[in-house]
Amino acid sequence: MAQTRTQRQASAQKAAATRKRNAANRSASSTRSSARSTRSSASQTTRSARQTGRQAARTGRQATRTAGRRLDVVGERIEELGRRAQRVMYIQVGMAATARDAVVEQVRVYTKPKSVVKELDRYERRGARALGRSERALARRRRELSRDAHGVQRNVGRQANGVRKDAGDIVDRVKRLA
């Protein structure tokens, strides 16, 4: 059966409507899929951004701690230099005070004639003791060397006598053999 023009148009409109509906459904499905993908991507991006933010905060705290530690080390080094400089100063002041005390003591000793005589007597006794010790040590050393020399001389004499006796024995044997 042949279709009329109106039927063909109605059929064409119906087909066009079906194509439009199918296209709209495909587009809606694609849009929903794209929206899901976008939502998922946005969610990942949000998680990634949060994670990146936490990592940045952690890195910032760590950098702060590191900077603080470096400042502590620098501070300790500066304190150590200060202690060394202070020690040098204390040593110099201590040496000056010791020298001053020695000068004051010597001035006190040598301002009174009695003290001068007493101090000179003390030096004399000390010098005599030191020289006596040295002389006794020298005498002891000479005696030891002399004993050692006599011992060596006696030893050489004994050995020479032994060699003479051996030589005499050999001469006697040779005479008996001849």
User: What pLDDT sits at residue 135?
Assistant: 92
- Write out pLDDT tens, residues 1-45: 678 888 888 888 988 889 988 988 888 888 888 888 888 888 888
Query: What pTM, to 2 d.p., does this model score?
Result: 0.34
Instruction: Quote the pLDDT of residue 5.
Output: 82
- C-alpha–C-alpha distance, residues 3 and 165, integer Å: 169
- Tell me what the pLDDT averaged over the chain comes to: 85
Any idea where the domains of the chain sit in the sequence? 12-111, 117-158
Structure-block tokens of residue 174: 């040779």
Share of the chain above pLDDT 90, in %: 13
* DSSP sequence for the chain: -PPPHHHHHHHHHHHHHHHHHHHHHHHHHHHHHHHHHHHHHHHHHHHHHHHHHHHHHHHHHHHHHHHHHHHHHHHHHHHHHHHHHHHHHHHHHHHHHHHHHHHHHHHHHHTSHHHHHHHHHHHHHHHHHHHHHHHHHHHHHHHHHHHHHHHHHHHHHHHHHHHHHHHHHHHHHHHHH-
How far is residue 74's CA from residue 8's CA, in Å, rounded to a whole number? 94
Q: Write out pLDDT tens, residues 65-103.
A: 888 888 888 888 888 998 999 999 999 999 999 999 988
